[in-house]
């Protein structure tokens, strides 16, 4: 197969993928979705069950009720398919300051996170962020992007390094590094920033004070003793996140005031 024909095949395949798989996130950003959402949700449920069976979980009732109260208040604000999803929560008894979400609405909170979330509003900023990853189909988008990116790397490595010999491996390594810095990391940061802002809206709609999201990131910055340059990270820096959150106050404070006027006063206590 000559190189010109191979390029044409790759271009045609990629165009077909783009045409067939365009959708948008809650913020209106266009995204590519290639994977089966049902399959990802099934895998998310499987991994969540493994966590519950193999990892020590917090069994303090007050702590469980506190985190669940915040999560329920936010999930109650969802509509469409996300509102019908079977959301689950696990609080892992580990000191890490972390939380993450699995496809299908499986939220995992590490107990160490509670040491830097000073109140229910700060915890709501984290939970809202994780819920936004689900409603934005970020797991599917990332898996789809990985599939497309991996295919492109294989083809480009062959074209640049030749189909045989050491040069192909060298070209592949250089391209993989370039894709990580030029595509994968900025793409992940884009998702994280989007989840921050969508999550900020969710927490405000539930009656949590969105201004506490900034206080949360001040706490996070103080607790982060091993910062790395933002361009090497899959997450925006704390300072960048604070700037973005503040710039979104006009919208989220209006949502917060509306929620308060509707009598939404979450009362989640530790």
Determine the Cα–Cα distance for residues 60 and 69; give it in Å rounded to an integer: 14
Determine the Cα–Cα distance for residues 204 and 200; give it in Å rounded to an integer: 6
Determine the Cα–Cα distance for residues 12 and 218; give it in Å rounded to an integer: 48
Half-sphere exposure of 24 (CA within 13 A, CB side): 4
Active site residue 215: no
Q: Considering 41, 77, 88, 130, which one is annotated as catalytic? A: 130
Nearest partner of 266 among 78, 71, 63, judged by Cα: 71
Between the two ends of the chain, the Cα-to-Cα distance in Å is 66
Q: Kind and range of the H or E element at 100?
A: strand 99-102
Bridge partners of 24, per DSSP, are 30
Nearest partner of 251 among 213, 215, 206, 198, judged by Cα: 198
Q: Which residues are catalytic?
A: 130
């Amino acid at each position: 197969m000559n190189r010109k024909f191979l390029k044409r095949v790759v271009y045609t395949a990629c165009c077909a993928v783009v045409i067939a798989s365009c959708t948008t996130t809650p913020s209106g950003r266009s995204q590519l979705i290639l994977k089966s959402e049902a399959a990802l949700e099934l895998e998310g449920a499987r991994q969540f069950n493994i966590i519950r069976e193999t990892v020590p979980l917090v069994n303090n009732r007050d702590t469980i009720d506190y985190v669940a109260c915040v999560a329920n208040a936010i999930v109650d604000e969802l509509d469409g398919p996300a509102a019908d999803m079977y959301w689950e929560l696990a609080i892992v008894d580990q000191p890490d300051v972390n939380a993450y979400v699995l496809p299908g609405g499986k939220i995992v909170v590490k107990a160490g996170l509670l040491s830097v979330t000073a109140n229910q509003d700060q915890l709501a900023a984290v939970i809202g962020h994780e819920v936004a990853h689900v409603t934005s189909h970020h797991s599917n988008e990332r898996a789809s992007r990985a599939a497309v990116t991996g295919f492109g790397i294989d083809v480009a490595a062959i074209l640049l390094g030749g189909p045989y010999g050491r040069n192909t491996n060298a070209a592949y390594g250089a391209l993989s590094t370039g894709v990580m810095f030029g595509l994968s990391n900025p793409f992940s940061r884009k998702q994280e920033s989007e989840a921050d802002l969508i999550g900020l809206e969710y927490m405000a709609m539930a009656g949590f004070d969105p201004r506490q999201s900034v206080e949360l990131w001040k706490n996070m910055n103080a607790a982060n003793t091993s910062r790395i340059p933002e361009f090497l990270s899959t997450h925006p820096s704390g300072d960048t996140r604070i700037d973005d959150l503040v710039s979104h106050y006009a919208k989220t404070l209006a949502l917060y005031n509306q929620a308060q006027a509707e009598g939404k006063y979450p009362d989640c206590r530790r």
